[in-house]
Chain A
Amino acid sequence: MKAIVAVKRVVDYNVKVRVKADGSGVDAANAKMSMNPFDEIAVEEAVRLKEAGIVSEVIAVSIGAAPCQDTLRTALAVGADRAILVETGAEIQPLGAAKLLRALCERESPRIVLTGKQAIDDDANQTGQMLAALMGWPQATFASRLAIDGDVATVEREIDGGVETVEMRLPAVVTADLRLNQPRYATLPNIMRARKKPLETVTPEALGVDVSPRLEILKVSEPPRRAAGIRVADVAELAARLRDAEGVA
């Protein structure tokens, strides 16, 4: 069975983003870009399913401008077999991304779609669930363990207050949480090999998908800053402050 794994190119996890002075967005012009960390985990899981003989082919998909090819090459270097870039300069929101992925699912007929539970730029946490709904498939979000036996996926999910185990019949969408696995690093020979793997480019228009944004970003602003606090000298002073100034007994 085929697996599709959806990966997004985002401002690197370690970059502290700044809001542009004109309030039009964040300044990501020269920022280091990387694969969304949750998507790295999704790629790793898909590759492990292939290594376990459960999945026959891993197809990495990314949506965005030409530099997203780098993100796809990273996925290929850790073990994806081929890649599809849906190339567009337009702003793509989760519903648009889910519709593009639906078009590719209809073309490729994967039995499972893996992706990160959220992207660390817009923090939306929507695309996997939207794709599942559009396909009429079951979903397991926040996955911390995935086992596939025949046509049934058993997934442990991180929920508020604990862990839930769900069973669902494939095809299905699984979104990766932090503890699903520890992604491997791409080795130099594999990075070289990845350059020769197939990378196809399509467009939203060619897929017949309307990706018009539904949300207009009017303004991006800095959150209110906390006023600077004070350093206390010792535990006694801290306890006194909490008691007297804050009313904490």
Chain B
Amino acid sequence: MSCLILAEHDNSTLHPVTAHVVAAARRIGGEIHLLVAGDGCRRVAEQAATLDGVAGVWLADAARYADQTPESVAELVAARMAPHSHGLAAATAAGKSVMPRVAALLDVAQISDLVGVESGDTFVRPIYAGSALATVRSSDAKKIITVRATAFAAAGTNSAPAPIESLAVPDAPGKSRVVSRRLNRSARPELDAARVVVSGGRGLGSAENFHALLEPLADRLGAAIGASRAAVDAGFVSNDLQVGQTGKIVAPRLYIAAGLSGAIQHVAGMKDSQVIVAINKDPEAPIFQIADYGLVADLFDAIPALTAALGRTGDGGRNP
């Protein structure tokens, strides 16, 4: 067995999800190689080479991979799969766009959102928004997999980096072209990597309230901000903050759910958080069924009070 992992990056920095994918590959077993495809991305390859358990890094550094379009990257991954039994990527927007193409090019199934490894051919993945877990066995010669990062603790780093080998890349016109990327820059931690997430729902009532109430609490806790679909649809925050079945899957140390009911589709994205706090004025809200600590209260009183209470502790308690 041997694994090829498609590294996730922006040409300058390796995304932390890749270390989680390496951890999943180590559960499968065999040698692990990383593939870094991009433009001017040698630094990424150097970072990838330090991940624990990585035997080598392939670097495909060429203008045609600058935007990592799924059409071009999938062809590259499929071509590089010849010596490998398993091909993996993170179950991110990028990984989900590329890996099904790879699988189709190789005429094999793709396994989405891996959360457990039973053996080299038997895997666990969630279905029905996480209401059930399916254990599936692949009969294909090669397994193409996307990995749910939150299900595997990140691989560490190693002081003896693995060798990096550059690949000769044939030049070919791309099938699609990225015109622009508009990323929402934020000083906050990234939603899928944050230790604490403060999430809001429709109960906040307006975009103004959402920001005025949740941002001070998030600032206090060094938290990322998330939202339910209802809050995104109502225009309180941008779509990339949506947590749930079809948004981000998060599993922080602490998840504070404010003014959201706890629809199945939202819970699917956060139920693996270590500690869940729910604040809602409706005592019947389903979110209370999965919360470790539930507070039935009006958000407009409770959130500022919680911000102040946690602040007092932080200032005067542990760090005098």
Contact = CB atoms under 8 A, between A and B. Distances in A.
A242 B264 contact: no
B177 A133 contact: no
A26 B275 CA distance: 28
Interface of B is mostly: mixed
Nearest to A230: B293
Interface of A is mostly: mixed
Interface string B242-273: 00011010000110000000001100000100
Contact of A133 (B74, B111, B179): B74
Interface string B195-218: 010000000000000000000000
A133 B105 contact: yes
Interface string A154-186: 100111111111111100100001110000000
Given A218-B122, A223-B133, A94 B318 contact: no
B43 interface: no
Interface stretch (A106-114, A122-130, A200-208): A122-130
Given A123-B245, A161-B184, A230-B292, A214 B140 contact: yes
Interface in B120-141: 122, 126-140
Contact of B310 (A140, A163, A242): A242
Interface in A11-67: 11, 13, 16-17, 19, 26, 38
Contacts of A159: 93-94, 181, 240
B109 A249 contact: no
Given A98-B104, A123-B129, A229 B309 contact: no
Interface residues on B, range: 35 or more
B138 A242 contact: no
B71 A139 contact: yes
A166 B98 CA distance: 15
Nearest to A38: B246
A220 interface: yes
Interface string A116-139: 011011111111111111101111
Nearest to A225: B290
B240 A158 contact: yes
Interface string A207-249: 0000001111111111100101111101110110111001011
A160 B94 CA distance: 8
Given A133-B105, A229-B294, A248-B254, A163 B136 contact: no
A121 B103 contact: no
Contact of B139 (A216, A231, A241): A216
Contact of B104 (A11, A130, A162, A167): A130
A117 B131 CA distance: 19
B178 interface: yes
11 contacts: A123-B113, A123-B129, A133-B105, A138-B71, A162-B183, A162-B184, A215-B139, A217-B135, A231-B293, A235-B302, A249-B310
